[in-house]
Amino acid sequence: MQAICRKHGLDLIFLVAPTSDDARIEQVLKRASGFVYCVSVAGVTGARDTLPDELEPFLKRVRRETDLPLAVGFGISRREHVESLQGKADAVVVASALIDVIEATPRDEREERLQAYVEVLTGRRRASD
């Protein structure tokens, strides 16, 4: 799979989780290109109120072993999450929360609601606006 991706100029993105031991992280990083997707929690994805305390030490462990950008996903749904990851991760992945907005919004209002949500996440708009 990785050879096919490279042949077409694509990066195959690997995931590491807080439960990944050092040997597994090393194995993944030997193959990784583009960026490394760091799963914030062990378990299923979905919006959460808080990110786990173990996330920062996990990111430090991965960062020590690579210069590739780190993207954090699974549970990212609030501005506070994005702010707490500044300086620790290079990107955040927001998916389930966006799907929740789409599913809860009438079709003709989706574009506006999604834009507002992303603006709150990125700090371009306050949640009360």
User: What is the reported pLDDT for 91?
Assistant: 96
DSSP H/E element including 72? strand 70-73
The residue among 46, 40, 2 whose CA lies nearest residue 20 is: 40
32, pLDDT greater than 80: yes
User: What is the reported pLDDT for 52?
Assistant: 86
What pTM was estimated for this model as a whole? 0.86
The pLDDT-based confidence of 53 (bands split at 50, 70, 90) is confident
List pLDDT tens digits, range 93-104: 999 899 999 999
Classified as helix, coil or strand, 68 is coil
The residue among 67, 50, 47, 51 whose CA lies nearest residue 18 is: 51
Q: Are 14 and 26 in contact (CB under 8 A)?
A: no
d(CA 69, CA 55): 16
The pLDDT-based confidence of 125 (bands split at 50, 70, 90) is confident
Sorted by where each begins, the domain ranges of the chain are: 2-42+49-93, 95-129
The residue among 100, 101, 104 whose CA lies nearest residue 114 is: 101
